[in-house]
Homo-oligomer: A and B are copies of this chain.
Amino acid sequence: MATPIELGDLAEQLGARLEGDPATPIHGVATLEGAGLGQLSFLSNPRYRKQLAACSASAVLMREDVECPDSFAGARLRVADPYLAFARASRLLNPLPPVRPGVHPSASIDPAASVHASAEVGAHAVIGPGACIGADVVIGSGCHVGGGVSVGDGTRLHPRVVIYDGCVIGRHCILHSGAVVGADGFGLAWNGGAWEHIPQVGRVVLGDHVDVGANTTIDRGALEDTVIGEGVKLDNQIQIGHNCVIGEHTAVAGCVGIAGSTRIGPRCRIGGASMISGHLEIVGGSEIAGGTAITRSVTEPGVYASVFPFMPFAQWRRNAAQLRHLDDIAKRLRQLEHGAGVITPSDPPESE
Protein backbone atom coordinates (compact mmCIF):
# COMPACT_ATOMS: atom_id res chain seq x y z
CA MET A 1 0.00 0.00 0.00
CA ALA A 2 2.82 2.35 0.88
CA THR A 3 4.34 4.74 -1.68
CA PRO A 4 8.18 4.38 -1.92
CA ILE A 5 10.32 7.43 -1.14
CA GLU A 6 14.09 7.86 -1.48
CA LEU A 7 15.85 8.18 1.86
CA GLY A 8 17.37 11.55 0.94
CA ASP A 9 13.93 12.99 0.26
CA LEU A 10 12.61 11.50 3.45
CA ALA A 11 15.47 13.04 5.47
CA GLU A 12 14.73 16.42 3.94
CA GLN A 13 11.02 16.23 4.66
CA LEU A 14 11.68 15.18 8.24
CA GLY A 15 14.51 17.67 8.86
CA ALA A 16 16.77 14.72 9.69
CA ARG A 17 20.53 14.39 9.26
CA LEU A 18 21.20 11.36 7.07
CA GLU A 19 24.05 8.93 7.67
CA GLY A 20 23.81 6.64 4.63
CA ASP A 21 22.92 6.47 0.95
CA PRO A 22 20.26 9.05 -0.01
CA ALA A 23 19.15 6.88 -2.96
CA THR A 24 17.99 4.04 -0.67
CA PRO A 25 14.31 3.41 -1.46
CA ILE A 26 12.00 3.24 1.55
CA HIS A 27 8.56 1.78 1.06
CA GLY A 28 7.31 1.19 4.57
CA VAL A 29 7.74 1.30 8.32
CA ALA A 30 8.21 -1.53 10.79
CA THR A 31 9.37 -2.38 14.31
CA LEU A 32 13.08 -2.87 15.02
CA GLU A 33 12.44 -6.59 15.25
CA GLY A 34 10.23 -6.93 12.20
CA ALA A 35 11.85 -4.51 9.75
CA GLY A 36 13.56 -5.70 6.58
CA LEU A 37 14.86 -4.37 3.27
CA GLY A 38 13.23 -1.11 2.24
CA GLN A 39 11.75 -0.48 5.67
CA LEU A 40 12.28 2.32 8.14
CA SER A 41 12.26 1.78 11.88
CA PHE A 42 12.97 3.95 14.91
CA LEU A 43 14.84 3.81 18.20
CA SER A 44 12.99 5.97 20.66
CA ASN A 45 14.21 4.53 23.95
CA PRO A 46 18.00 3.86 24.05
CA ARG A 47 17.21 0.78 26.18
CA TYR A 48 16.31 -1.01 22.96
CA ARG A 49 19.79 -0.61 21.39
CA LYS A 50 20.24 -4.38 21.51
CA GLN A 51 17.34 -4.79 19.10
CA LEU A 52 18.96 -2.20 16.86
CA ALA A 53 22.13 -4.28 16.76
CA ALA A 54 20.17 -7.16 15.21
CA CYS A 55 17.88 -4.98 13.07
CA SER A 56 17.60 -5.51 9.29
CA ALA A 57 15.87 -2.21 8.49
CA SER A 58 17.22 -0.15 5.60
CA ALA A 59 17.18 2.89 7.87
CA VAL A 60 16.50 3.77 11.48
CA LEU A 61 15.46 7.07 13.07
CA MET A 62 17.48 7.83 16.20
CA ARG A 63 18.72 10.72 18.30
CA GLU A 64 22.06 12.39 17.60
CA ASP A 65 23.45 11.34 20.96
CA VAL A 66 22.73 7.63 20.61
CA GLU A 67 25.70 5.52 19.57
CA CYS A 68 24.74 3.19 16.76
CA PRO A 69 25.94 -0.44 17.14
CA ASP A 70 28.49 -1.44 14.49
CA SER A 71 26.45 -4.49 13.58
CA PHE A 72 23.60 -2.36 12.28
CA ALA A 73 24.23 -2.09 8.54
CA GLY A 74 21.44 0.30 7.60
CA ALA A 75 21.33 4.06 7.29
CA ARG A 76 20.63 6.39 10.22
CA LEU A 77 18.32 9.36 10.26
CA ARG A 78 19.36 11.57 13.14
CA VAL A 79 16.48 13.56 14.66
CA ALA A 80 15.57 15.23 17.92
CA ASP A 81 12.43 13.11 18.53
CA PRO A 82 12.57 9.72 16.77
CA TYR A 83 8.99 8.77 17.69
CA LEU A 84 7.53 11.98 16.29
CA ALA A 85 9.72 11.72 13.18
CA PHE A 86 8.54 8.15 12.77
CA ALA A 87 4.91 9.29 12.94
CA ARG A 88 5.60 11.81 10.19
CA ALA A 89 7.57 9.37 8.05
CA SER A 90 4.77 6.84 8.34
CA ARG A 91 2.23 9.42 7.22
CA LEU A 92 4.38 10.23 4.17
CA LEU A 93 4.66 6.53 3.36
CA ASN A 94 1.05 5.69 4.20
CA PRO A 95 -1.06 8.61 3.04
CA LEU A 96 -4.79 8.51 3.67
CA PRO A 97 -6.76 7.04 0.77
CA PRO A 98 -7.73 9.86 -1.59
CA VAL A 99 -11.22 11.32 -1.38
CA ARG A 100 -13.32 10.15 -4.35
CA PRO A 101 -15.76 13.01 -4.93
CA GLY A 102 -19.33 12.02 -5.51
CA VAL A 103 -22.44 10.63 -3.92
CA HIS A 104 -23.17 6.91 -4.10
CA PRO A 105 -26.48 6.31 -5.90
CA SER A 106 -27.87 4.42 -2.91
CA ALA A 107 -27.24 7.30 -0.48
CA SER A 108 -30.25 9.25 0.67
CA ILE A 109 -29.55 12.98 0.61
CA ASP A 110 -32.30 15.36 1.63
CA PRO A 111 -32.93 17.95 -1.08
CA ALA A 112 -32.41 20.67 1.53
CA ALA A 113 -28.92 19.41 2.42
CA SER A 114 -25.78 20.94 0.98
CA VAL A 115 -22.96 18.60 -0.01
CA HIS A 116 -19.73 20.08 -1.38
CA ALA A 117 -18.82 18.86 -4.85
CA SER A 118 -15.47 17.55 -3.60
CA ALA A 119 -17.04 15.42 -0.85
CA GLU A 120 -17.48 11.66 -0.99
CA VAL A 121 -20.71 10.10 0.30
CA GLY A 122 -20.82 6.33 0.63
CA ALA A 123 -23.47 3.72 0.00
CA HIS A 124 -26.69 3.90 2.05
CA ALA A 125 -25.57 7.04 3.87
CA VAL A 126 -28.35 9.38 4.99
CA ILE A 127 -27.97 13.16 5.14
CA GLY A 128 -30.78 15.18 6.65
CA PRO A 129 -32.37 18.51 5.73
CA GLY A 130 -30.20 21.56 6.24
CA ALA A 131 -27.05 19.53 6.79
CA CYS A 132 -23.92 21.08 5.34
CA ILE A 133 -21.07 18.80 4.24
CA GLY A 134 -17.78 20.64 3.59
CA ALA A 135 -15.01 20.23 1.04
CA ASP A 136 -13.05 17.00 0.90
CA VAL A 137 -15.27 15.37 3.49
CA VAL A 138 -15.75 11.60 3.45
CA ILE A 139 -19.08 10.27 4.73
CA GLY A 140 -18.69 6.50 5.00
CA SER A 141 -21.25 3.92 4.02
CA GLY A 142 -24.28 3.73 6.23
CA CYS A 143 -23.60 6.94 8.15
CA HIS A 144 -26.52 9.00 9.38
CA VAL A 145 -25.93 12.76 9.40
CA GLY A 146 -28.92 14.45 10.98
CA GLY A 147 -30.76 17.58 9.96
CA GLY A 148 -28.87 20.85 10.37
CA VAL A 149 -25.56 19.13 11.10
CA SER A 150 -22.44 20.82 9.79
CA VAL A 151 -19.34 18.78 8.95
CA GLY A 152 -16.16 20.81 8.40
CA ASP A 153 -13.70 20.53 5.52
CA GLY A 154 -11.48 17.51 5.40
CA THR A 155 -13.35 15.52 8.05
CA ARG A 156 -13.78 11.77 7.59
CA LEU A 157 -16.61 9.67 8.97
CA HIS A 158 -15.95 5.94 8.79
CA PRO A 159 -18.92 3.66 8.06
CA ARG A 160 -21.98 3.68 10.37
CA VAL A 161 -21.30 6.84 12.34
CA VAL A 162 -24.42 8.62 13.62
CA ILE A 163 -24.58 12.39 14.12
CA TYR A 164 -27.87 13.57 15.60
CA ASP A 165 -29.64 16.71 14.41
CA GLY A 166 -28.01 20.07 14.91
CA CYS A 167 -24.52 18.99 15.95
CA VAL A 168 -21.37 20.69 14.67
CA ILE A 169 -18.31 18.71 13.57
CA GLY A 170 -15.10 20.68 12.98
CA ARG A 171 -12.56 20.42 10.20
CA HIS A 172 -10.13 17.54 9.77
CA CYS A 173 -11.85 15.37 12.34
CA ILE A 174 -11.90 11.58 12.16
CA LEU A 175 -14.89 9.66 13.49
CA HIS A 176 -14.67 5.88 13.64
CA SER A 177 -17.41 3.37 13.05
CA GLY A 178 -20.15 3.08 15.60
CA ALA A 179 -19.50 6.51 17.11
CA VAL A 180 -22.71 8.26 18.14
CA VAL A 181 -22.59 12.03 18.53
CA GLY A 182 -25.53 13.94 19.94
CA ALA A 183 -27.81 11.32 21.47
CA ASP A 184 -29.90 12.61 24.36
CA GLY A 185 -28.16 13.15 27.67
CA PHE A 186 -29.48 11.18 30.63
CA GLY A 187 -31.76 13.94 31.88
CA LEU A 188 -34.61 12.74 34.04
CA ALA A 189 -36.82 14.14 36.79
CA TRP A 190 -38.51 11.86 39.33
CA ASN A 191 -42.22 12.55 39.74
CA GLY A 192 -42.69 10.37 42.79
CA GLY A 193 -43.62 7.27 40.83
CA ALA A 194 -41.72 7.39 37.55
CA TRP A 195 -38.99 9.20 35.67
CA GLU A 196 -39.92 12.04 33.33
CA HIS A 197 -37.79 13.18 30.42
CA ILE A 198 -36.06 16.51 30.27
CA PRO A 199 -35.60 17.49 26.62
CA GLN A 200 -31.95 17.80 25.69
CA VAL A 201 -31.88 21.01 23.70
CA GLY A 202 -28.13 21.61 23.58
CA ARG A 203 -25.88 20.34 20.81
CA VAL A 204 -22.51 18.62 20.57
CA VAL A 205 -19.83 20.86 19.12
CA LEU A 206 -16.55 19.26 18.04
CA GLY A 207 -13.57 21.50 17.31
CA ASP A 208 -11.09 20.96 14.50
CA HIS A 209 -8.77 17.94 14.46
CA VAL A 210 -10.86 15.96 16.92
CA ASP A 211 -10.74 12.15 16.74
CA VAL A 212 -13.62 10.02 17.99
CA GLY A 213 -12.95 6.29 18.39
CA ALA A 214 -15.11 3.34 17.45
CA ASN A 215 -18.36 3.03 19.42
CA THR A 216 -17.63 6.15 21.45
CA THR A 217 -20.70 8.17 22.46
CA ILE A 218 -20.95 11.90 23.14
CA ASP A 219 -24.28 13.15 24.43
CA ARG A 220 -25.85 16.46 23.46
CA GLY A 221 -26.20 19.12 26.13
CA ALA A 222 -29.30 19.49 28.27
CA LEU A 223 -29.55 23.27 27.86
CA GLU A 224 -26.15 24.38 26.64
CA ASP A 225 -23.72 22.50 24.39
CA THR A 226 -21.37 19.62 25.03
CA VAL A 227 -18.06 20.94 23.72
CA ILE A 228 -15.02 18.94 22.60
CA GLY A 229 -12.05 21.25 22.07
CA GLU A 230 -9.66 21.44 19.17
CA GLY A 231 -7.25 18.57 18.82
CA VAL A 232 -8.93 16.36 21.43
CA LYS A 233 -8.30 12.67 20.81
CA LEU A 234 -10.87 10.16 22.05
CA ASP A 235 -10.21 6.45 21.84
CA ASN A 236 -12.87 3.70 21.53
CA GLN A 237 -15.86 2.97 23.76
CA ILE A 238 -15.76 6.27 25.64
CA GLN A 239 -18.91 7.81 27.05
CA ILE A 240 -19.12 11.58 27.48
CA GLY A 241 -22.18 12.86 29.28
CA HIS A 242 -24.24 15.93 28.53
CA ASN A 243 -22.78 19.41 29.05
CA CYS A 244 -19.20 18.20 29.38
CA VAL A 245 -16.47 20.50 28.13
CA ILE A 246 -13.16 18.88 27.15
CA GLY A 247 -10.24 21.27 26.69
CA GLU A 248 -8.06 21.35 23.60
CA HIS A 249 -5.49 18.63 22.97
CA THR A 250 -6.67 16.45 25.82
CA ALA A 251 -6.29 12.73 25.06
CA VAL A 252 -8.66 10.13 26.53
CA ALA A 253 -7.89 6.41 26.27
CA GLY A 254 -10.46 3.68 25.75
CA CYS A 255 -13.42 2.73 27.95
CA VAL A 256 -13.44 5.97 29.94
CA GLY A 257 -16.75 7.30 31.25
CA ILE A 258 -17.16 11.01 31.93
CA ALA A 259 -20.41 11.90 33.66
CA GLY A 260 -22.42 14.98 32.83
CA SER A 261 -21.42 18.62 33.30
CA THR A 262 -17.77 17.85 34.04
CA ARG A 263 -15.18 20.23 32.62
CA ILE A 264 -11.75 18.87 31.76
CA GLY A 265 -9.00 21.34 31.04
CA PRO A 266 -6.64 21.40 28.07
CA ARG A 267 -3.75 18.96 27.53
CA CYS A 268 -4.89 16.39 30.06
CA ARG A 269 -4.14 12.70 29.61
CA ILE A 270 -6.84 10.37 30.87
CA GLY A 271 -5.88 6.71 31.17
CA GLY A 272 -8.08 3.89 29.93
CA ALA A 273 -11.07 2.63 31.88
CA SER A 274 -11.05 5.65 34.17
CA MET A 275 -14.34 7.07 35.35
CA ILE A 276 -14.92 10.71 36.14
CA SER A 277 -17.95 11.77 38.13
CA GLY A 278 -20.27 14.55 37.09
CA HIS A 279 -20.11 18.29 37.82
CA LEU A 280 -16.34 18.28 38.43
CA GLU A 281 -13.48 20.43 37.19
CA ILE A 282 -10.22 18.79 36.16
CA VAL A 283 -7.47 21.34 35.83
CA GLY A 284 -5.53 21.50 32.56
CA GLY A 285 -2.39 19.39 32.29
CA SER A 286 -3.67 16.72 34.68
CA GLU A 287 -2.76 13.11 34.13
CA ILE A 288 -5.10 10.37 35.33
CA ALA A 289 -3.71 6.84 35.56
CA GLY A 290 -5.68 4.04 33.92
CA GLY A 291 -8.57 2.66 35.94
CA THR A 292 -8.78 5.65 38.26
CA ALA A 293 -12.07 6.90 39.68
CA ILE A 294 -12.11 10.68 39.92
CA THR A 295 -14.84 11.61 42.36
CA ARG A 296 -13.78 15.15 43.29
CA SER A 297 -12.46 18.08 41.31
CA VAL A 298 -8.75 18.13 40.56
CA THR A 299 -7.33 21.59 41.13
CA GLU A 300 -3.59 20.87 41.08
CA PRO A 301 -1.98 19.47 37.92
CA GLY A 302 -0.24 16.20 38.64
CA VAL A 303 -0.61 12.46 38.21
CA TYR A 304 -3.49 10.80 40.04
CA ALA A 305 -4.33 7.16 40.62
CA SER A 306 -6.80 5.00 42.52
CA VAL A 307 -6.46 1.40 41.41
CA PHE A 308 -6.73 -1.42 43.93
CA PRO A 309 -3.57 -3.46 43.29
CA PHE A 310 -4.31 -6.94 41.96
CA MET A 311 -3.05 -10.02 43.81
CA PRO A 312 -3.68 -13.76 43.99
CA PHE A 313 -7.30 -14.41 44.87
CA ALA A 314 -6.72 -15.87 48.35
CA GLN A 315 -4.50 -12.95 49.32
CA TRP A 316 -7.00 -10.47 47.90
CA ARG A 317 -9.78 -12.10 49.90
CA ARG A 318 -7.96 -11.70 53.19
CA ASN A 319 -6.86 -8.13 52.52
CA ALA A 320 -10.22 -7.02 51.14
CA ALA A 321 -11.96 -8.40 54.20
CA GLN A 322 -9.70 -6.30 56.46
CA LEU A 323 -10.37 -3.25 54.30
CA ARG A 324 -13.94 -3.21 55.61
CA HIS A 325 -12.36 -2.66 59.02
CA LEU A 326 -9.63 -0.20 58.19
CA ASP A 327 -11.19 2.65 60.13
CA ASP A 328 -11.40 0.38 63.14
CA ILE A 329 -7.76 -0.68 62.68
CA ALA A 330 -6.74 2.98 62.60
CA LYS A 331 -8.68 3.69 65.78
CA ARG A 332 -7.20 0.74 67.60
CA LEU A 333 -3.72 1.74 66.52
CA ARG A 334 -4.30 5.23 67.91
CA GLN A 335 -5.44 3.78 71.23
CA LEU A 336 -2.32 1.64 71.46
CA GLU A 337 -0.18 4.68 70.63
CA HIS A 338 -2.03 6.62 73.29
CA GLY A 339 -1.36 3.84 75.81
CA ALA A 340 2.33 3.93 74.83
CA GLY A 341 2.46 7.71 75.24
CA VAL A 342 2.79 8.44 71.49
CA ILE A 343 1.22 11.65 70.19
CA THR A 344 -1.03 10.63 67.29
CA PRO A 345 -2.24 12.48 64.21
CA SER A 346 -5.87 13.54 64.13
CA ASP A 347 -8.48 11.60 62.18
CA PRO A 348 -8.50 12.18 58.44
CA PRO A 349 -11.54 13.91 56.99
CA GLU A 350 -13.97 11.40 55.54
CA SER A 351 -13.68 10.47 51.89
CA GLU A 352 -16.53 11.41 49.59
Contacts and interface: CB of A to CB of B under 8 A. Distances in A.
Contacts of A159: 126, 144, 162
Contacts of A340: 336, 339-340
Contacts of A158: 162, 164, 183
Interface string A302-325: 111111111111011111111111
**Identical chains bound together, number:** 3
A189 B183 CA distance: 31
Contacts of A335: 342
Contacts of A307: 293, 295, 306, 308, 316, 320
Interface residues of A, number: 133
A303 to B, nearest CB: 4
Contacts of A177: 144, 162, 164, 180, 183
Contacts of A144: 140-142, 159-160, 177
Contacts of A292: 310
Nearest to A312: B302
Contacts of A180: 176-178, 214-215, 236
Contacts of A93: 199
A257 B233 contact: no
Contact of A330 (B224, B239, B275, B322): B322
A29 interface: yes
B310 A293 contact: yes
Interface string A276-315: 0100000000001111111110000011111111111101
